[in-house]
Amino acid sequence: MDYTEFIMWATGPGINAIIGFIMSFAVELIPSFELLDAKVKRLSVLITCLVVPLIFTGLGAATGVLQGDINTWFAAFSAGLIAFGASTLAHTRRM
C-alpha cells in the first residue's frame, strides 16, 4: 500500500480500524480513561471519529492526492459519523 492508497483508505473504509487503534491505545496508556463517565467516553470517541478522517483528508488535499472540494470533506465527515454510529451501536448496553 503506497501513500495514495493509504490516504484513500484512511479517509473512508479504514477509518474504523484507525479509530479502534487510537482508542485502544487511549485505554491502555491513560489509566484514568476507564474511570471517566460514559458520556465523556462517548464524546471522546465522537471527536476522534470526526477529527481523524478530516486530518487525513487535509493531508491528502495538501499533497494533491485528494481534491479539496466540499464533496471530499463531506465524504470524510460522513465516514467519521458512520464510524461513530457503528461504534456506539456495537458498545451500547442493552437497556
Summarize pLDDT for 56-80 with one digit per residue, the tens.
999 999 999 988 899 999 998 998 8
Share of the chain above pLDDT 70, in %: 94
- Give the range of the structural domain holding residue 47, as residue numbers without chain letter: 3-91
Reported pTM: 0.79
* Chain position carrying cell 474511570: 35
Spatial contact of 54 and 76, defined as CB atoms under 8 Å apart: yes
pLDDT value at position 74? Answer: 93
Q: Domain count of the chain?
A: 1
Q: How far apart are CA 51 and CA 19, in angstroms?
A: 10
Q: What is the mean pLDDT of residues 20-24?
A: 84
Q: What is the mean pLDDT of residues 44-66?
A: 91
Q: What is the mean pLDDT of residues 17-30?
A: 83
Q: Which three cell numbers stand for residue 75?
A: 465524504
Q: How far apart are CA 42 and CA 91, in angstroms?
A: 10
